[in-house]
Amino acid sequence: MGNIKIGIIGLGYVGLPLARLFATKYPVIGFDAKKARVEELMTGHDSTQEVDDETLRSVLRKNTLDKEETGLYCSYSLEDLRSCNYYIICVPTPVDKHHNPDLAPLYKASETVAKVINKGDTVIYESTVYPGVTEEECIPVIERISGLKFNIDFFAGYSPERINPGDKQHTVEKIKKVTSGSTPEIGEKIDHLYSSVITAGTHLASCIKVAEAAKVIENSQRDINIAFVNELSKIFNLMGIDTQEVLDAAATKWNFLPFKPGLVGGHCIGVDPYYLAQKAQDYGYHPEVILAGRRINDSMGEYIASQVVKCLIKKGNYVKGSHILVLGFTFKENCPDVRNTKVFDIIKALKDYNTNITIYDYWAKPEEVKREYNLEIANELPKDKFDAIVLAVAHNEFLKLDIKNMIKQDGIIYDVKGLLKSNMVDGRL
């Protein structure tokens, strides 16, 4: 494939694992605008814990690398990117408070690449978007700033990320990768680039829009399925039926899909459907199923809080002034990622009842939770006894706790994740 030097823009949950993988075979410059993040990585430590220290240090190099040397050099200096000929953008694509797609990080990353891209180079986007964003929104930014012409002077591709934060089994090289290019020839080159490091193989889509659409429906499909079982949980709770027992029975059929009720947060499943919904509305179509699923899943935090309150009342406890311990704050188990965590919705709703909330999560960073949510969390288990405990996140460590011994005599346990046996809890989804 000639002399390849790859620049990865964004060294978060997606960019760093990809940079580490490519660095086993190519020279890679990892770029991040956050100086503290770059300095941390260059010491050989990743605070997101997606890449362990030993693996990271095995690929780190202490210089900017040439096109003959493999390895990873991390930098916040734009000039270090200039020698690359493949640029892979791995920045977040959030939504605003009105659930509208926020493309600002993509625009900024496109501007960064535009300042250093040369003739013949290729830029590849991995961020989740709706169909059309790469060619209609991002490429014009690069053309305008660089002065280069798309598909004449430079080329583009789209290969959606499939990172599952905290998952040490399905790592980036073990997940089949969808690829695409702005021309058939570029598509083949990009596919070959990824297939050289992705052991699970690749799937070359016919065009960029197909690849974009494939990514956005992956998480939309999961969102809708989870919304269905969340609605079932509400119905069966009114009937006095244990939802988990129903799901266990139904799962004995060979083609039953094993989804469980719960909170849908994070940076993908709780966000991606809004991207597809927005684009559909641009074409005059109002998506009913997608947005209905979003409404149900976004309502679960407040619903769980109301169920906790009901459990307290049934045991004769005062709600106002009660002391409640929330176990877990990250958006999913066994990772420090607190982006778009729906545990916040539970806490916010419980505080509306004038309860006293203590949050314990040894994975989450207190300074990040304080900055993003203005909440205090503990990294050490409180020794007090509580009126209620809400098991909100399925961290492995929580399975070792003697939760029964952490509540007062008439205290209650609410199990959001279905980790505990039904006879141990006062309520669960």
Query: In angstroms, rounded to a whole number, what is the distance separating the alpha carbons of residues 97 and 95?
Result: 7
**Are 6-212 and 231-428 the same fold in CATH?**
yes
The first and second tokens of residue 120, run together, are 């013949």
Identify the pLDDT of residue 64. 80
Cα(184)–Cα(256) distance, integer angstroms = 39
pLDDT in tens, the chain (429 residues): 569 999 999 999 999 999 999 999 999 999 999 999 999 999 999 999 999 999 999 999 988 887 778 999 999 999 999 999 999 999 999 888 888 889 999 999 999 999 999 999 999 999 999 999 999 999 999 999 999 999 999 999 999 998 888 878 888 999 999 999 999 999 999 999 999 999 999 999 999 999 999 999 998 999 999 999 999 999 999 999 999 999 999 999 999 999 999 999 887 888 889 999 988 999 999 999 999 999 999 999 999 999 999 999 999 999 999 999 999 999 999 999 999 999 999 999 999 999 999 999 999 999 999 999 999 999 999 888 999 999 999 999 998 999 999 999 999 999 999 888 888 999 998
Domain spanning 6-212: CATH 3.40.50.2030: no
- In this prediction, residue 1 carries a pLDDT of 56
235 neighbors 153 (Cβ within 8 angstroms): no
DSSP-derived 3-state class of residue 1: coil
Element holding 112 (H helix, E strand): helix 104-114
Considering the candidates 84, 90, 268, 311, report the single residue annotated as catalytic: 268
In the chain, count H helices and then E strands. Answer: 14, 13
What gap in Å lies between CA 108 and CA 91, rounded to an integer?
9
Q: Give residues with Cβ within 8 angstroms of 265, minimum separation 6.
A: 331, 332, 339, 340, 341, 342, 343
Please provide the DSSP assignment of 123-142 as one string. Answer: EEE-S---TTHIIIIIHHHH
Cα–Cα distance, 328 to 379 (Å, whole number)? 10
When the candidates are 3.40.50.720, 3.90.1150.10, 3.40.718.10, 2.60.40.10, the CATH number that belongs to 231-428 is 3.40.50.720
| Burial of 334 per CB tally in 10 Å (0-12, 13-18, 19+) | middle
Structure tokens at 56: 């990271």
Distance (Å, whole) CA 309 – CA 127: 40
Exposed / middle / buried, residue 160 (Cβ in 10 Å: 0-12, 13-18, 19+): buried
Catalytic residue list contains 268: yes
Antiparallel, parallel or unpaired: β 27-31 and 6-9: parallel
Question: Distance between CA 161 and CA 177 in Å, rounded?
Answer: 8
- Opening angle at CA 141, ends 136 and 147, nearest 5: 120
Domain ranges of the chain: 6-212, 231-428
pTM to 2 decimal places: 0.91
